[in-house]
Chain A
Amino acid sequence: EPEVTQTPSHQVTQMGQEVILRCVPISNHLYFYWYRQILGQKVEFLVSFYNNEISEKSEIFDDQFSVERPDGSNFTLKIRSTKLEDSAMYFCASSGLVIYEQYFGPGTRLTVT
């Protein structure tokens, strides 16, 4: 069964450093999302991406964040200058023709020290 994959599974970085989180969505999907989950809290929407541009973004997704689909398979989330409060699980999700059915990857745990 096709699935969303994410790398790395765990990333530790120092405050102020740039990180890139990578996702490979399900191959025939067209809509891509990033969500985050701070430990013990609910999953929060960050951004959606379609047709090579951002469709929607939340208040969390400020100028420090950017997304890119550098090739036909990868979808990345970049945090330019990480802060302690960026520590969270970051989930990539994708959906296809049934646009509202989103399938999540296993997540990347980001720890900012």
Chain B
Amino acid sequence: QKEVEQNSGPLSVPEGAIASLNCTYSDRGSQSFFWYRQYSGKSPELIMSIYSNGDKEDGRFTAQLNKASQYVSLLIRDSQPSDSATYLCAVNMGGGSYIPTFGRGTSLIVHP
């Protein structure tokens, strides 16, 4: 069974610190990787997508992909209380699938 694993948390970091969120996936043929942010009571919204090995930066967010280790991470620099949310990792598995498999999410708490 194709799986996406995330630590449920909560991950608690002080304001201004770097928050590191991790995700592993089971299908070595996976090609597309997404990070969604979901505030309590709201729907998920896309933060980052990454398709090739290495880092991809967008403002305070950096996605890191290592296909050999089947590992994708999201770094949030200068964390703010407004970053407190659940972060969902989603992976489009191999075979050209456009149906993402979602992890269960990691709860992040940024405290002042």
A and B: bona fide binding partners? no
Interface residues of A (CB under 8 A from B): none
